[in-house]
Structure formats: C-alpha cells, structure tokens
Amino acid sequence: MESQVRGGTRWKRFAVVMVPSVAATAAIGVALAQGALAASFSVSGQSFKVTADRLDGVGFSQYGAIDQGYTLKGEKTAHPVAVSAFKSAKITNMCQSVVTPDIPLIGSVSLTLKAGGGSTPVEAENLYIDVEDLQANATFRNIDIGVAAGNADKGPGMKGGKEQANPYGFAQQADSATLTDVKQTAWATTAGTFKLSGLKMSLSKGVKECY
C-alpha cells in the first residue's frame, strides 16, 4: 500500500511539471475529430525541437523579436528569436519534442509529437514559428531582403501578443518558400489552423528528441 501512495505522488508531481505540454496535446486530440484547430505550442521556460522532411510555405516573412514568458518557478524569461511566418504551409513528416528535466523521483521525461508521415502532410494557416536555431536547405521565390518588419505584406503580418518586435526593424519576405531536411530549435509555434494527419504522441523516460 505504501508503494502505491508513493507512485501516486510521483505522477501528481509529474503532472504539475508537464501541464503546458499535456494541455496542448489534449487540445490536439480533441480537435482531430474536427479535422482542424487553432493551436499554440509553448512550454514555460523551455525550448523544443522540431524536424521535418519538407515544408512548403506560401506568403513568407521573417523578422527578429523577443519572446517573453515565465518559467515553472514563476521567473520571467526573455529569448531573442527569428519569427518565420507563413500564410499557409504544408509540412511532411513533422516531429516535435520537448524534454522536461529533473522531475522528482523520475528524472527527465520526453514528450514527442509526430504527424504528416503518410501521404497527407500537416497543413497550417497563419503559421508562426519562433526560431532560435535553424538548419535546412531553403529555396525562396521572389524574395525581398531588408524591408521593415511592419511593411512586410507577403506574409500574415506581425504576430503581437507576448512577442516584442520593432516594426521598423530588419525583415525579409518572399512569395513562397520550400525548406527540406529541417532541424530547428524553437520557443513557440502558433497557427490559426493546424490540421495534423496521422498524429502520434508518446511519453518516455529519459531524453529522446527528434534530433
């Protein structure tokens, strides 16, 4: 009986630490029956990794910003990011992973989401990715470099909210963009609509990331 009580305590602590990730995942699961959802992926005080075989985007813009938030301890955080924005995008074989470290009595736990691995890619509208690090092969069509962020009109516009960005700061834009062999570290992903085909979620002990 004592062992069962301790086990319950572990999972209560685990649930508290993992609330942001699990809440986003639950929203995805409910929306699968509806076929689409408005989604916002962010984990308090943590970055996460994303990979994709291919991203085809229409209406692209990119500008610098500062992401602000709070850690699980309530401490303020601020991270410089490059916001990549698309009016619409199709993503093939997407993987997203976040590791929550130092959970009492458990250690690290990894949450992994995979989608778009079959014949139907992930589809997104008004997609914003707050990127800290990006590796990819990229092709931009009709690109404009050096426009003011507030004047970039090919993409969906500046995001706002918790993001701090200078509308007069440097930006670039293009009619469309194709990225292959994508590997990136991000602090947030938001979309007006996110359709996730073949979604698979897994939780595992230890550090198991997309790359």
Q: How many CB atoms within 10 Å of residue 40? A: 14
Q: What is the mean pLDDT of residues 87-107?
A: 92
Q: Is the pLDDT of residue 15 over 60?
A: no
Q: Which pair of structure tokens corresponds to residue 12?
A: 């209560």
50 and 133 in contact (C-beta within 8 Å)?
no
pLDDT band per the 50, 70, 90 thresholds, residue 160: confident
* Residue 119, CB-side half-sphere exposure with 13 Å CA sphere: 0
Q: What percent of the chain has pLDDT over 70?
A: 77
49 and 141 in contact (C-beta within 8 Å)?
no
Which of 154, 137, 136 is CA-nearest to residue 145?
154
Which of 140, 166, 165, 164 is CA-nearest to residue 154?
140
Q: Is the pLDDT of residue 26 over 90?
A: no
Q: What is the pLDDT of residue 100?
A: 84
pLDDT band per the 50, 70, 90 thresholds, residue 157: very high
Q: What is the pLDDT of residue 183?
A: 98
pTM, rounded to two decimals: 0.81
> Mapping DSSP to helix (H, G, I), strand (E, B) and coil, where does residue 206 land?
coil
Q: Which pair of structure tokens corresponds to residue 22?
A: 């699990």
112 and 204 in contact (C-beta within 8 Å)?
yes
Q: What is the pLDDT of residue 43?
A: 63
Q: Is the pLDDT of residue 113 over 50?
A: yes
Q: Is the pLDDT of residue 96 over 70?
A: yes
Ranges of H-type helices in the chain: 2-32
